Amino acid sequence: MDVTEPRGADEVDRIVAAWRRERPDLDVEPLTVFSRVSRLARHLDRARRSAFDRHDLETWEFDVLSALRRAGEPYRLSPGVLVAQTLVTSGTMTNRIDRLEKRGLVERHRAPEDRRGVLVELTAAGRRRVDAAMSDLLDVEARVLDALPAAVRPQLAALLRAVGAQFDE
């Protein structure tokens, strides 16, 4: 499949054509990219939620648990690092840690170097849950990528990285 050749008009093409007809004074070219990104994001969100549901996890729970899992043994991070990695407020993170702790997926420990500090640690149950959910998620996302030849996937990743970099600063 040649990804540069469209397979036919999609909903975004129809939306763009309508805006060009109704507002020829506007450059609607950004819609050709970002409306597709937005629509794809909604589809991916549904697919991700479905994968997480199969493991009795909410998306936010997966985000916290996966941050801890990626930290490596002993799968422990400070709440501040979790806040930075999941882009939520400290109050929201405290609530999330409380809820995950009640479910037995994380534990709080005193920080050895600062007795006032706290570290959040992934439990064995939390590790099993996030590992299973991650495997399921990757299966779902790999099926989505099947629409693209493997050779162009790194290029797509690089292009998306370039567009998203402005938000990561």
Nearest to 34 by CA among 53, 60, 15: 15
Q: In this predicted model, what pLDDT tens digit does every residue of 2-13 receive, in sequence order?
A: 555 556 789 999
Q: In this predicted model, what pLDDT tens digit does every residue of 16-73 receive, in sequence order?
A: 999 999 999 999 999 999 999 999 999 999 999 999 999 999 999 999 999 999 999 9
pLDDT of residue 20: 96
**Quick check: 56 and 104 in contact, CB under 8 A?**
no
pLDDT reading at 108 higher than 80: yes
Nearest to 66 by CA among 108, 109, 126, 107: 126
pLDDT of residue 8: 79
Mean pLDDT of 129-157: 95
CATH code reported for the domain at 59-128: 1.10.10.10
pLDDT of residue 113: 80
pLDDT of residue 114: 77
pLDDT of residue 117: 86
pLDDT reading at 1 higher than 70: no
pLDDT of residue 115: 74
Q: In this predicted model, what pLDDT tens digit does every residue of 75-107 receive, in sequence order?
A: 999 999 999 999 899 999 999 999 999 999 999
**Domain boundaries in the chain?**
9-53, 59-128
Q: Which residues contact 145 (CB under 8 A, 6 or more apart)?
A: 153
Nearest to 47 by CA among 132, 131, 129, 143: 143
pLDDT reading at 125 higher than 70: yes
pLDDT of residue 4: 52
